[in-house]
Structure 1
Amino acid sequence: MLPPANKEGGAQVSKKLTIDFVLYLVVRLLICAVQALPLSTLKTLSIQLGWLCWHGLKLRRGVVEENLRIAFPDAPQEVRDRIALAMWKHLFLMICEIAHAPRKLHRTNWRQHSSISRMRDIVRHLISERPMVIISGHLGNFELGGYLLALHGFETHTIARPLDNVFLDEFVNRFRGATGQYMLPKHGSGPQITELLQQGGTLVLLGDQFAGKGGCWVEFFGKPASTHKAVAVFSLGSSAPTAVSAALRGENPLEFRMEIAAIADPAAADFQLPTVPLLTDWYTHNLEMMVRQHPDQYWWVHRRWKGDPSDRRRNRKPRVQQQAA
């Protein structure tokens, strides 16, 4: 007979798995409902749901308004409100596109749904034996970016935190890997990433995630933002050509342009970004330029700006004093 503590722990695990499975079934049913509707109807529905979230429910309104004030301090309030409303419409349509992608996007029809800017430059790097790093952000349909690139015939690896719900995590990873996009865990995947880059693989990363007090602080829309150092370390450590990109939606659902904002090659003779701060500032600046051109397709609901660089100095001071003692 198991001790009471083990019994209690087993019951909690069983309860969580049951709840997770029920949630998984609900999500699958919602996806089935979305897949049953035409994209034209879903576009109209996204507009209505976007209005409800912004004007009715006012979801994360304070965060969105604060972010837009930081990014566009000189814009009139009505302009920032239009961007926020358009963002909510975009997010709902993005979910609908993800649900329809496995049925509507195929290797035989990708030209009808997507195009790539600077195709010659990006393909030249992708087919070479050298590794490549592609940096994107929460702009456009970032979930379909790697999916589309793999659909073009280029396998990619993306770093992502596993979902707490094991059933949803397996389902999402199965979708992401359907065309040749493979997922690496956010923690503990260092050896895999090193091996991937040594073998000339392609690594896709989000470059606009908050990195905590110890991150690399660079300006994003004129305000310091903590950014993960690992993104630049991967590029510089493997001397990998690095592109800043986003899958931007066109006029209609499931119509994308893979926009390449800039490409930097650490092996080039004129390369001028040899340090982590310089490279981080470079790709953050290019992400910002794309967001400025398409603010309605950026994820303003997440807190990009937290604290300031002085937090890092305050965090380091006690450790220095402790080491001295």
Structure 2
Amino acid sequence: MRKKQTIDFALYLLVRLLICGVQALPLSALKILSDHMGSFCWHVLKLRRSVVEENLRIAFPEVSQAERDRIALAMWKHLFLMICEIAHAPRKLHRTNWRQHSSISRMRDIVRHLVSDRPMVIISGHLGNFELGGYLLALHGFETHTIARPLDNRYLDDYVNRFRGAKGQYMLPKQGSGPQITELLQRGGTLVLLGDQFAGKGGCWVDFFGKPASTHKAVAVFSLGSAAPTAVSAALRGKNPLEFRMEIAAISDPAAADFQWTTVPLLTDWYTQNLESMVRRHPEQYWWVHRRWKGDPSDRRRIRKTHRQQKAA
């Protein structure tokens, strides 16, 4: 145990030193460095190249290989710049200058829901600078809660949570946080969730770029169970580092007379299609390095059949 703590603390110190180095450089220099690091990862190291290429073939079968390579290279550059932006955010983003760095589409609609007494669910994905999305909302004065798995390194976990909570973005553990989420929604809080994570064989299967993808049911359950207005959003980068537009792709309200997505599959499909529409417009800002498509819906049917056989035995 003591050996693990020593290793974890040494890794924590290394990360802090790297962050100090990043913070010491201007964003203009970091943009150039990110471009070089992205090229190095894609062309030389070829990190997760097979996964990225497979994902892009699924998402964009109609475009040329050269165009898919361009998207992949731009994604790696984006990911390195995203890390640099996160390191600089506490020093450069404040409540007195947020207008210089961010804007919100459909501001009137989203703010009307955020300031009401009702709960709200905001669904995002691995698009844009997803780490700064909740941070920016909190910077605007809207306290949010997000579900995340704690890091194995407790020193890094404490550090990350201090960063996230500095402006009012609080983390809930992925396991065992059901009662906390229920209490949060009952008192009219705002829950921010990632809606494009693989949910295993027993998830809710909906099409994402025309191919079935297993999606977590809990996202829709939280919205429908609390009758919470639900927005699909992403913090998309503009032309320059630390310039973002909080894009609101769609908003639905279960209390509205014309609300159509009354079941978990319908609501899951609704927000997934809206996430897809944003990714299609900004493919270079999406995290193509994770395996979004695994298995197929028949996996769920096999699980149900096995459960029925076990009960009957």
**TM-score band w.r.t. shorter chain:** over 0.9
Tell me the alpha carbon deviations over residues 103-139 of structure 1, each in whole angstroms, 9 at most, x when there is no partner.
0000000000000000000000000000000000000
Match of 2:238 in 1: 250
Match of 1:3 in 2: none
Match of 2:267 in 1: 279
Alpha-carbon offset, residue 316 of structure 1: 1.7
Matched, 1:53 2:44: no
| Matching residue within 190, 199, 214 for 1:211 | 199
- 1:226 match: secondary structure: strand
- 2:239 match: secondary structure: coil
User: Which residue identity is paired with 2:5?
Assistant: L
| Matching residue within 136, 143, 147 for 2:124 | 136
- 1:184 match: secondary structure: strand
Alpha-carbon offset, residue 225 of structure 1: 0.2
| Matching residue within 172, 179, 189 for 1:201 | 189
Identity among equivalent pairs (%): 86
User: Which residue identity is paired with 1:80?
Assistant: R
Structure-1 separation of matches of 2:95 and 2:310: 58
Alpha-carbon offset, residue 322 of structure 1: 1.4
- 1:50 match: secondary structure: helix
Structure-2 separation of matches of 1:29 and 1:217: 43
Give RMSD over aligned pairs: 0.4
- 1:285 match: secondary structure: helix
Match of 1:4 in 2: none
Matched, 1:169 2:162: no
* Superposed structure 1 runs of 4+ greater than 2 Å apart: none
Match of 2:214 in 1: 226
Query: Number of matched residues?
Result: 313
Alpha-carbon offset, residue 254 of structure 1: 0.1
User: Which residue identity is paired with 2:214?
Assistant: S
Matches within 5 A, 1:246-325: 246-325=234-313
Match of 1:183 in 2: 171
User: Which residue identity is paired with 2:76?
Assistant: W
Match of 2:139 in 1: 151
Tell me the alpha carbon deviations over residues 2-52 of structure 1, each in whole angstroms, 9 at most, x when there is no partner.
xxxxxxxxxxx1111110000000000000000000000000000000000
User: Which residue identity is paired with 2:182?
Assistant: T
Structure-1 separation of matches of 2:126 and 2:96: 28
User: Which residue identity is paired with 1:122?
Assistant: I
Tell me the alpha carbon deviations over residues 72-118 of structure 1, each in whole angstroms, 9 at most, x when there is no partner.
01110000000000000000000000000000000000000000000
Match of 1:76 in 2: 64
Normalized against structure 2, the TM-score is what?
A: 1.00
Q: Which has the larger radius of gyration?
A: 1
Alpha-carbon offset, residue 296 of structure 1: 0.2
Match of 1:110 in 2: 98
Gaps of 5+ in 1: 1-12
